[in-house]
Structure 1
Amino acid sequence: MKILLNLLLTFVMFITMACEDEKAETLPESATISGTITFSGDWPSTGTVYLSIQNTWYPVDAPYATTTISESDVTANAYVYSFTEVAFGTYAAISVSWLDPEDTNPATNQHIIGVYGGTAAAYFADADSITVSEDIYELTSLDFGADFGLVQP
């Protein structure tokens, strides 16, 4: 009887330990993209500066996400940005543009002044695309420059 009781207790202990609740790893549902933009040149006295995640490059449609940057948001010519809750996928570019208030034509009134991975010498055609997924859900240090000297008067 004692052997049977010991076997029964051993079996119960084995079952209770084997069924221990394990915390499942929570998969991310969205991504965060962040970095620093370093501005050069004189901040325009009029118009709006935009930071955008672009679906296509060159932008021919509305961006995936956008925010405005005011001169007061910039410290020592640097602006730290962060886009949160970004849907998983591939985006064509991250860009900074200036909206010319004197130009009413939507095809020409946004002037690109900086793009992540792109150069002005290549007219920013060499922009780097950005991919975020369940495995790559936090992209940091996506730093680039933006030059107000590129704005056409």
Structure 2
Amino acid sequence: MKRGIFVALSILLLMLYGCKSSNEPVDTTPQTGSVSGTVTFVGTWPTTGEIQVGIYANLQPPYIPMGPPEAFTDPIPQGTMVYNYKLEGLEKGTYSAIYVSWRDPNNPAASKILGMYWDHPDSVGIDTTGGFTLPVAPPKSVTIDDQNLNLTNIDIKADLDL
């Protein structure tokens, strides 16, 4: 009988301990952020391939992506001349480039930069000398932190004829 009472009290104490409230505040700060804006296209849409917006971290001069972006949009519907994009689920930190790129359907690893986020949103900022598409100036970086989790108006102009 004493053993049964001891077991019952032990279970009751464990349940009460598990239900106690914590005096520590719960962190409700979102842990990821987003970047959004508008892409304005000029030129003629290619008949093949996909065009997407992608965000990159840690790019070094000459700012050519050597791997996949941290995040990217779904392919932009062909014929779209103004596209509102949003990249979500981005970890806090600094991102070195946001590009609008075309992916070659015959070589998915190859792509062309058609536009970028930089200090002159009314121009493309891409040089095509030598058959490559390179930024003419460094892309403008963006930083997601507790004070700036959701960045808006990150607008880009993209030239489909590059």
Structures share fold, TM-score greater than 0.5: yes
Matched with 1:69 is 76
Matched with 1:15 is none
Instruction: Tell whether 2:105 aligns with 1:98.
Output: no
The structural deviation recorded for 1:135 is 1.4
Matched with 2:28 is 26
Runs of 4 or more consecutive aligned structure 1 residues displaced over 3 Å after TM superposition? 23-26
Matched with 1:14 is none
1:131 to 1:110, Cα distance in 2 relative to 1, 3 A? same
Matched with 1:80 is 84
The structural deviation recorded for 1:25 is 8.1
1:96 is paired with a residue whose SS is: strand
CA distance in 2, matches of 1:44, 1:135: 40
Matched with 1:149 is 161
Matched with 2:126 is 120
TM-score calculated relative to the size of structure 1? 0.71
The aligned amino acid for 1:120 is I
CA distance in 2, matches of 1:50, 1:82: 11
Q: Which of 115, 134, 137 is equivalent to 2:146?
A: 134
CA distance in 1, matches of 2:115, 2:51: 11
2:83 is paired with a residue whose SS is: strand
The structural deviation recorded for 1:53 is 0.7
* Alignment length (residue pairs): 123
Q: Work out the percentage of aligned pairs sharing the same amino acid.
A: 34
The aligned amino acid for 2:153 is S
Q: Which structure has greater helix proportion?
A: 1
Matched with 1:4 is none
Contact 2:118 2:138 in 1 (8 A): yes
CA distance in 2, matches of 1:130, 1:35: 13
The structural deviation recorded for 1:28 is 2.3
Q: Which of 38, 41, 51 is equivalent to 1:39?
A: 41
1:71 is paired with a residue whose SS is: coil
1:40 to 1:133, Cα distance in 2 relative to 1, 3 A? same
Contact 2:36 2:153 in 1 (8 A): yes
2:161 is paired with a residue whose SS is: helix
Q: Provide structure 1 residue ranges, at least 5 long, that are not aligned to the other structure.
A: 1-22
2:47 is paired with a residue whose SS is: coil
The structural deviation recorded for 1:54 is 1.1
Matched with 1:17 is none
CA RMSD of aligned residues (A): 2.4
